[in-house]
Amino acid sequence: MSAVNLKHRPNFLEYTLNPAIEGGWVRMLYPESPRHPRQKYLLTVKGMGLYNKMNPTN
């Protein structure tokens, strides 16, 4: 949330994170336990392609 300068968690989940997961851009490290204490979100191949397209210097 801090990377995109958002402070309201429900809005972040509803408008940013959940659509990215449903669209296949991002996946959860522990999908069977969404509130896992070590939960992280990883770019999928589709998400990495978009990232590389938006940041051609990488």
pLDDT tens, position by position, 1-58: 888 788 998 998 999 999 999 999 999 999 999 999 999 999 999 999 999 999 887 5
* pLDDT value of residue 24: 96
Amino acid at 2: S
pTM of the complete model: 0.81
* pLDDT value of residue 58: 59
Rounded Cα distance between 58 and 39, Å, is: 26
* pLDDT value of residue 33: 94
| Alpha-helical segments (H) within the chain | 9-12, 18-22, 45-54
Rounded Cα distance between 6 and 13, Å, is: 10
Name the token pair of 48: 């990495």
* pLDDT value of residue 6: 87
Rounded Cα distance between 45 and 43, Å, is: 7
* pLDDT value of residue 5: 86
